[in-house]
Chains A and B, each alone.
Chain A
Amino acid sequence: ETGVTQTPRHLVMGMTNKKSLKCEQHLGHNAMYWYKQSAKKPLELMFVYSLEERVENNSVPSRFSPECPNSSHLFLHLHTLQPEDSALYLCASSQRQGRGKTEAFFGQGTRLTVV
């Protein structure tokens, strides 16, 4: 248990569906992240929220829409996805502990399959 909870753990959706992934942390961290991990590929940073404000969007297609209503919750809204979007989606939170020193806490991830 890392203190970061993601739901659902598994999701199968059609290309015309709309779904949302949820992430929750009660660690008091002020930064939250969405990462994507495709099969046999490194983690790709998608979005970063700092103090509930989106601060980074790494060229992610608009069919992925993040939302951060408060410092404890992060959502990833999905619509009209493609089969190549099938991947493990990971949420993380972090708090800087000093210069050059940050520890990130990850959720268990949502295994998404687009059919």
Chain B
Amino acid sequence: LAKTTQPISMDSYEGQEVNITCSHNNIATNDYITWYQQFPSQGPRFIIQGYKTKVTNEVASLFIPADRKSSTLSLPRVSLSDTAVYYCLVGDNYRSGYSTLTFGKGTMLLVSP
């Protein structure tokens, strides 16, 4: 897996847009970028995945510049329930029949009233 760097923590207020950037300078040609969300005492949950340009779903948007060396997860109008840890993963370290997904420390997003 390509090494990723993301902020340890971010603070926001309800109703604001939050952008979390992840750096991945050594991303490989075939690697996709995937973001997961984890609430306390729960397993991570897939949010969004993309390869290039922009991907949008009902939860978030993912912006990937042309050089793909970074990506930005955008959460529109956050609420208190968006308080969680957000992980950026690049690629899937595929072996013979399985992937080994390695999670870093992630970004702890705290949303306040």
Q: Which residues of A contact B (CB under 8 A)?
A: 2, 4, 30-31, 33, 35, 42-43, 45, 48-51, 55-56, 88, 90-92, 94, 96, 98-109, 111
Contact across chains for B98 and A31 when beta carbons are under 8 A apart: yes
Main secondary structure of the interface of B (DSSP, over half): loop
Asked if residues A100 and B91 are in contact (CB atoms below 8 Å), the reply is yes
Do A107 and B43 contact each other (CB < 8 Å), given the known contacts A30-B98, A101-B49? yes
Q: How far is the CB of B23 from chain A (nearest CB, A)?
A: 17
Q: Which residues of B contact A109 (CB under 8 A)?
A: 41-43
Please, how many angstroms separate the alpha-carbon atoms of A42 and B103 in the complex? 6
Tell me whether B46 is interfacial, beta carbon within 8 Å: yes
Cross-chain contact A99 with B98 (CB below 8 angstroms)? no
Instruction: Give chain B interface residues in 10-56, CB to chain A under 8 Å.
Output: 28, 30-32, 34, 36, 41-46, 49, 51
Give Cα A104–Cα B106 distance, bound, in whole angstroms. Answer: 16
Alpha-carbon separation in the docked complex, A108 to B94 (Å)? 24
- Smallest Cβ distance from B48 to chain A, in angstroms? 10
Whether B99 pairs with A102 at a CB distance below 8 angstroms is yes
B101 within 8 A of A: yes
Report whether B43 and A102 are in contact in the complex, using a CB–CB cutoff of 8 Å.
Answer: no
